[in-house]
Protein backbone atom coordinates (compact mmCIF):
# COMPACT_ATOMS: atom_id res chain seq x y z
CA UNK A 1 0.00 0.00 0.00
CA UNK A 2 1.20 3.51 -0.67
CA UNK A 3 1.33 6.04 2.11
CA UNK A 4 -1.80 8.19 1.95
CA UNK A 5 -1.34 11.88 1.24
CA UNK A 6 -2.07 14.34 4.03
CA UNK A 7 -3.26 17.93 4.28
CA UNK A 8 -0.49 18.82 6.73
CA UNK A 9 1.65 16.67 9.01
CA UNK A 10 2.40 17.90 12.54
CA UNK A 11 5.19 16.23 14.51
CA UNK A 12 5.53 17.00 18.21
CA UNK A 13 8.38 15.65 20.32
CA UNK A 14 10.25 17.08 23.31
CA UNK A 15 13.90 16.44 22.45
CA UNK A 16 16.15 17.00 19.46
CA UNK A 17 16.73 13.44 18.13
CA UNK A 18 13.32 12.02 19.22
CA UNK A 19 12.14 12.80 15.70
CA UNK A 20 15.15 11.25 13.99
CA UNK A 21 14.60 7.89 15.68
CA UNK A 22 10.82 7.94 15.24
CA UNK A 23 9.75 9.71 12.06
CA UNK A 24 12.80 10.71 10.00
CA UNK A 25 11.94 8.28 7.23
CA UNK A 26 8.28 9.09 7.08
CA UNK A 27 8.99 12.84 7.13
CA UNK A 28 11.24 12.38 4.11
CA UNK A 29 8.55 10.32 2.35
CA UNK A 30 5.98 13.05 2.95
CA UNK A 31 8.43 15.57 1.51
CA UNK A 32 8.67 13.49 -1.65
CA UNK A 33 4.87 13.46 -1.86
CA UNK A 34 4.71 17.25 -1.52
CA UNK A 35 2.98 17.14 1.86
CA UNK A 36 3.81 20.05 4.19
CA UNK A 37 5.43 18.96 7.45
CA UNK A 38 5.91 20.93 10.67
CA UNK A 39 8.06 19.73 13.55
CA UNK A 40 7.51 21.32 16.95
CA UNK A 41 10.47 20.43 19.16
CA UNK A 42 9.67 21.43 22.71
CA UNK A 43 13.17 21.65 24.24
CA UNK A 44 16.79 21.80 23.15
CA UNK A 45 17.75 18.70 25.10
CA UNK A 46 19.64 20.89 27.53
CA UNK A 47 20.01 18.01 30.01
CA UNK A 48 21.56 15.54 27.59
CA UNK A 49 24.18 13.53 29.42
CA UNK A 50 26.57 12.73 26.61
CA UNK A 51 29.34 15.27 27.05
CA UNK A 52 32.16 12.87 26.12
CA UNK A 53 35.23 11.92 28.10
CA UNK A 54 37.33 13.86 27.27
CA UNK A 55 34.36 16.24 27.06
CA UNK A 56 33.39 18.05 23.83
CA UNK A 57 30.75 20.18 25.61
CA UNK A 58 29.72 21.58 28.95
CA UNK A 59 26.27 21.66 30.52
CA UNK A 60 26.12 25.31 29.36
CA UNK A 61 27.39 24.88 25.79
CA UNK A 62 25.30 21.79 24.99
CA UNK A 63 22.02 23.59 24.08
CA UNK A 64 23.67 25.53 21.25
CA UNK A 65 25.31 22.37 19.94
CA UNK A 66 21.98 20.57 19.97
CA UNK A 67 20.21 23.48 18.29
CA UNK A 68 22.63 23.23 15.37
CA UNK A 69 22.30 19.46 15.25
CA UNK A 70 18.52 19.78 15.17
CA UNK A 71 18.64 22.19 12.25
CA UNK A 72 21.01 19.88 10.36
CA UNK A 73 18.80 16.88 11.07
CA UNK A 74 15.74 18.73 9.75
CA UNK A 75 17.66 19.41 6.55
CA UNK A 76 18.41 15.69 6.24
CA UNK A 77 14.74 14.87 6.82
CA UNK A 78 13.61 17.69 4.49
CA UNK A 79 11.40 19.14 7.24
CA UNK A 80 10.95 22.74 6.12
CA UNK A 81 9.11 24.11 9.14
CA UNK A 82 10.96 23.59 12.42
CA UNK A 83 9.53 25.23 15.54
CA UNK A 84 11.74 25.39 18.63
CA UNK A 85 9.27 25.88 21.46
CA UNK A 86 11.66 27.06 24.18
CA UNK A 87 10.84 24.72 27.04
CA UNK A 88 13.57 23.19 29.15
CA UNK A 89 14.57 19.55 29.02
CA UNK A 90 13.33 17.39 31.94
CA UNK A 91 10.82 20.01 33.09
CA UNK A 92 7.83 19.46 30.81
CA UNK A 93 5.90 17.31 33.28
CA UNK A 94 6.20 20.12 35.83
CA UNK A 95 4.79 22.78 33.51
CA UNK A 96 1.17 23.80 33.91
CA UNK A 97 -0.82 21.04 32.19
CA UNK A 98 -3.31 23.44 30.64
CA UNK A 99 -0.49 25.58 29.24
CA UNK A 100 0.90 22.48 27.53
CA UNK A 101 -2.49 21.62 26.03
CA UNK A 102 -2.85 25.19 24.80
CA UNK A 103 0.60 25.06 23.19
CA UNK A 104 -0.49 22.04 21.18
CA UNK A 105 -3.95 23.48 20.47
CA UNK A 106 -2.39 26.64 19.04
CA UNK A 107 -0.27 24.56 16.65
CA UNK A 108 -3.28 22.52 15.55
CA UNK A 109 -5.41 25.61 15.00
CA UNK A 110 -2.68 27.30 12.98
CA UNK A 111 -1.66 24.34 10.83
CA UNK A 112 -4.87 22.29 10.59
CA UNK A 113 -3.00 18.97 10.35
CA UNK A 114 -4.73 15.83 9.12
CA UNK A 115 -2.30 13.65 11.09
CA UNK A 116 -0.16 14.22 14.19
CA UNK A 117 2.86 12.14 15.20
CA UNK A 118 3.94 12.14 18.84
CA UNK A 119 4.44 9.65 21.66
CA UNK A 120 1.88 7.12 22.87
CA UNK A 121 0.83 7.86 26.47
CA UNK A 122 2.04 5.42 29.17
CA UNK A 123 4.43 3.62 26.80
CA UNK A 124 6.97 6.35 26.09
CA UNK A 125 9.38 5.80 29.02
CA UNK A 126 10.82 9.31 29.52
CA UNK A 127 8.84 11.77 31.70
CA UNK A 128 9.11 14.48 29.01
CA UNK A 129 7.78 12.02 26.42
CA UNK A 130 4.85 11.14 28.65
CA UNK A 131 4.03 14.77 29.38
CA UNK A 132 4.13 15.56 25.67
CA UNK A 133 1.96 12.58 24.85
CA UNK A 134 -0.62 13.61 27.45
CA UNK A 135 -0.80 17.18 26.19
CA UNK A 136 -1.15 16.15 22.56
CA UNK A 137 -3.80 13.57 23.31
CA UNK A 138 -5.83 16.04 25.37
CA UNK A 139 -5.57 18.77 22.74
CA UNK A 140 -6.88 16.34 20.13
CA UNK A 141 -9.64 15.09 22.45
CA UNK A 142 -11.09 18.60 22.65
CA UNK A 143 -11.67 18.70 18.90
CA UNK A 144 -15.04 17.51 17.58
CA UNK A 145 -14.80 13.80 16.86
CA UNK A 146 -15.48 14.20 13.14
CA UNK A 147 -12.81 16.89 12.77
CA UNK A 148 -10.01 15.34 14.79
CA UNK A 149 -6.66 14.75 13.08
CA UNK A 150 -5.45 11.15 13.29
CA UNK A 151 -3.07 10.77 16.20
CA UNK A 152 -0.23 8.28 15.81
CA UNK A 153 2.05 7.53 18.71
CA UNK A 154 5.48 5.97 19.16
CA UNK A 155 5.66 3.46 21.98
CA UNK A 156 8.78 1.71 23.17
CA UNK A 157 8.27 0.80 26.82
CA UNK A 158 9.37 -2.73 27.64
CA UNK A 159 5.75 -3.87 28.01
CA UNK A 160 4.55 -2.30 24.74
CA UNK A 161 4.29 -5.43 22.61
CA UNK A 162 2.73 -7.46 25.41
CA UNK A 163 0.06 -4.89 26.17
CA UNK A 164 -0.59 -3.06 22.90
CA UNK A 165 0.19 -5.86 20.47
CA UNK A 166 1.79 -5.34 17.08
CA UNK A 167 2.02 -1.73 15.86
CA UNK A 168 -1.04 -0.50 13.97
CA UNK A 169 0.86 1.38 11.31
CA UNK A 170 4.12 0.10 9.86
CA UNK A 171 5.88 2.15 7.22
CA UNK A 172 8.64 0.78 4.99
CA UNK A 173 11.25 3.53 4.87
CA UNK A 174 14.08 1.62 3.21
CA UNK A 175 14.00 3.89 0.16
CA UNK A 176 14.89 6.86 2.39
CA UNK A 177 16.98 4.98 4.94
CA UNK A 178 20.09 6.90 3.96
CA UNK A 179 18.33 10.18 4.76
CA UNK A 180 17.35 8.81 8.16
CA UNK A 181 20.92 7.74 8.76
CA UNK A 182 22.05 11.30 7.99
CA UNK A 183 19.45 12.68 10.40
CA UNK A 184 20.64 10.35 13.16
CA UNK A 185 24.24 11.24 12.43
CA UNK A 186 23.37 14.95 12.58
CA UNK A 187 22.50 14.46 16.26
CA UNK A 188 26.08 13.39 16.91
CA UNK A 189 26.24 14.62 20.50
CA UNK A 190 23.52 12.12 21.45
CA UNK A 191 23.82 9.40 18.81
CA UNK A 192 27.56 9.29 18.20
CA UNK A 193 28.17 6.33 20.50
CA UNK A 194 25.22 4.45 19.02
CA UNK A 195 26.24 5.12 15.44
CA UNK A 196 29.76 3.90 16.19
CA UNK A 197 28.33 0.76 17.75
CA UNK A 198 26.03 0.17 14.77
CA UNK A 199 28.88 0.67 12.31
CA UNK A 200 30.98 -1.83 14.26
CA UNK A 201 28.22 -4.43 14.12
CA UNK A 202 27.88 -3.93 10.38
CA UNK A 203 31.66 -4.26 10.02
CA UNK A 204 31.46 -7.48 12.01
CA UNK A 205 28.96 -8.82 9.49
CA UNK A 206 25.87 -8.24 11.60
CA UNK A 207 22.94 -6.14 10.59
CA UNK A 208 21.89 -3.44 13.04
CA UNK A 209 19.94 -5.03 15.87
CA UNK A 210 17.14 -2.54 15.49
CA UNK A 211 15.27 -1.94 12.28
CA UNK A 212 15.49 1.85 12.56
CA UNK A 213 16.61 2.27 8.99
CA UNK A 214 14.01 0.01 7.39
CA UNK A 215 10.70 0.54 9.15
CA UNK A 216 8.92 3.06 11.34
CA UNK A 217 6.02 1.93 13.45
CA UNK A 218 3.19 3.63 15.26
CA UNK A 219 0.09 2.96 17.30
CA UNK A 220 -3.19 4.77 16.79
CA UNK A 221 -3.93 6.79 19.91
CA UNK A 222 -7.65 6.47 20.57
CA UNK A 223 -9.72 8.80 22.72
CA UNK A 224 -12.18 7.34 25.22
CA UNK A 225 -15.11 8.03 22.88
CA UNK A 226 -13.35 6.08 20.10
CA UNK A 227 -12.46 2.99 22.09
CA UNK A 228 -15.11 0.74 20.58
CA UNK A 229 -13.97 1.47 17.07
CA UNK A 230 -11.80 -1.15 15.38
CA UNK A 231 -8.24 -0.24 14.43
CA UNK A 232 -7.11 -1.55 11.09
CA UNK A 233 -3.49 -2.64 11.00
CA UNK A 234 -1.81 -1.27 7.89
CA UNK A 235 1.59 -1.65 6.22
CA UNK A 236 2.78 1.01 3.82
Binding site for other proteins (CB under 8 A): 47, 49-55, 58-61, 63, 86, 88, 90, 125-128, 157-158, 193
Q: Choose between 158 and 232: whose C-beta lies nearer to other proteins.
A: 158
| Closest distance to other proteins from the beta carbon of 121 (Å) | 16
Whether the CB-CB separation of 152 and 169 falls below 8 Å is answered with yes
| Closest distance to other proteins from the beta carbon of 49 (Å) | 4
Q: Choose between 52 and 80: whose C-beta lies nearer to other proteins.
A: 52
Q: Choose between 32 and 61: whose C-beta lies nearer to other proteins.
A: 61
Distance CA 186, CA 175 (A): 19
Q: Choose between 156 and 236: whose C-beta lies nearer to other proteins.
A: 156
| Closest distance to other proteins from the beta carbon of 233 (Å) | 26
Beta strand pairing call for 169-172 and 215-220: antiparallel
| Closest distance to other proteins from the beta carbon of 126 (Å) | 4
Distance CA 134, CA 97 (A): 9
Distance CA 15, CA 212 (A): 18
Whether the CB-CB separation of 151 and 200 falls below 8 Å is answered with no
Distance CA 232, CA 169 (A): 8
Amino acid sequence: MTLPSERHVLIIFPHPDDEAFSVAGIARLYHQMGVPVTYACLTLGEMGRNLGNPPFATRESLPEIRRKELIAACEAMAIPDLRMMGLRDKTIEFEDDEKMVQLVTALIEELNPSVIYSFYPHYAVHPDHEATARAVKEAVRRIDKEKRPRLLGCAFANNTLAELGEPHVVVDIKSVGHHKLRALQAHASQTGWMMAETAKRVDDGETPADSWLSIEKFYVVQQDDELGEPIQRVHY
